[in-house]
């Protein structure tokens, strides 16, 4: 079974995504791209995250062909592949139906830098133009909206986030969701003060040295 380690990670993080209330039902999908083989491992369509087994994960090539697996891949497979085709800094993606990012997506608003933690995704998070779920148009819109960022809102839909690892993609989802909630609640009280671009650039640079040193 190819990409066994990646399959196990997708099962693990799918359970985390659902278990922490970051998506609802079978909504959402996760993938990891192996640049050496040119294959993407992606979660199957319509299976509960707690029921997915490593052998249920589908492998696809960059042309969209199924390379391994007997399950139907997530209907958003093209949205994932489009990122891997165009981004060398993205090797894992998570799409989720989180509540507060979902609110921003329904409002079709950009999330500004009201909280410094949004630097995990960029200086802000844009909202991509609306398109039907699972469509080629949505894949194109998401790719454009996430340009130079690690997250994007999908209008009237949800959020897509990426990173060099599935762990980073998950962190971007978690922190962006938190920043959405803080921003929207702050708006109920007054007008949030937005951090300038140069400060966000400094924060992003500091993040490079965050955590335990290898």
Active site amino acids? 76
Closest CA to 28 of 100, 96, 92, 75: 96
Instruction: Please give the Cα distance from 150 to 119 (Å, whole number).
Output: 9
Q: Taking a C-beta distance cutoff of 8 angstroms, is the pair 90, 147 a contact?
A: no
CB atoms within 10 A of CB 136: 12
Instruction: Please give the Cα distance from 176 to 36 (Å, whole number).
Output: 30
Sheet strands (E) in the chain = 29-34, 39-42, 58-61, 66-68, 92-96, 127-128, 151-154, 158-163
CA 9 vs CA 13, 33, 76, 114, 162: distances in Å? 6, 12, 19, 32, 15
Q: Taking each helix axis from N to C terminus, what angle separates 4-19 and 166-189, rounded to the nearest 10 degrees?
A: 20
* Ramachandran region, residue 212 (left: φ > 0; alpha: ψ -120 to 50; beta: rest): beta
């Amino acid at each position: 079974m190819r990409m066994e380690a990646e399959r196990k990670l997708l099962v693990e993080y799918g359970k985390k995504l659902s278990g922490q209330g970051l998506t609802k039902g079978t909504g959402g999908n996760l993938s990891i791209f192996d640049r050496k083989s040119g294959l993407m491992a992606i979660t199957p369509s319509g299976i509960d995250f707690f029921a997915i087994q490593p052998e249920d994960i589908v492998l696809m090539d960059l042309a969209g062909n199924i390379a391994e697996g007997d399950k139907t891949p997530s209907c958003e497979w093209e949205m994932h592949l489009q990122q891997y085709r165009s981004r060398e800094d993205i090797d894992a993606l998570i799409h989720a139906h989180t509540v507060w990012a979902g609110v921003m997506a329904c409002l079709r608003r950009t999330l500004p830098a009201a909280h410094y933690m949004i630097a995990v995704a960029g200086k802000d998070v844009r909202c991509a133009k609306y398109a039907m779920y699972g469509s080629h148009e949505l894949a194109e819109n998401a790719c454009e909206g996430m340009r130079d960022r690690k997250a994007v809102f999908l209008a009237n839909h949800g959020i897509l986030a990426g990173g060099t690892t599935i762990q980073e993609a998950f962190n971007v989802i978690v922190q962006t969701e938190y920043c959405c909630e803080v921003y929207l609640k702050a708006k109920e009280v007054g007008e949030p003060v937005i951090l300038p671009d140069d400060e966000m650039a400094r924060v992003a640079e500091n993040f490079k040295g965050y955590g335990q040193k290898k």
